[in-house]
Amino acid sequence: MKNFKIIMISVLVGLVIIVILQNVQSVETRFLFIKVTMPIAVLLLLTFLFGFGAGLLASFTFEDKTNKQKSIKEKTQHGKI
């Protein structure tokens, strides 16, 4: 299992390096009133990080509500509430 994880991480790192090397062209990006020129690879990285952060925040939010609902359900079943 440990070797499988090392192999998968190596493959993913290799794919990321290939994507970065193939996307070094500059692109102009506009967001509201800001105009920025950056390589496509940087834009992809920023987009990935923003999506990852949003997903992580959403998972913590929904997990918290789910845990509270389970806790209330368990307390009512045991007659504590």
Residue 20 vs residues 16, 17, 26, 36, 50: alpha-carbon distances, Å: 6, 5, 12, 19, 18
Mean pLDDT of 17-30: 88
Say if pTM beats, i.e. exceeds, 0.85. Answer: no
If pLDDT is split at 50, 70 and 90, which confidence band does 70 have?
low
Structure tokens, 76 = 């009512």
Structure tokens, 51 = 């999506």
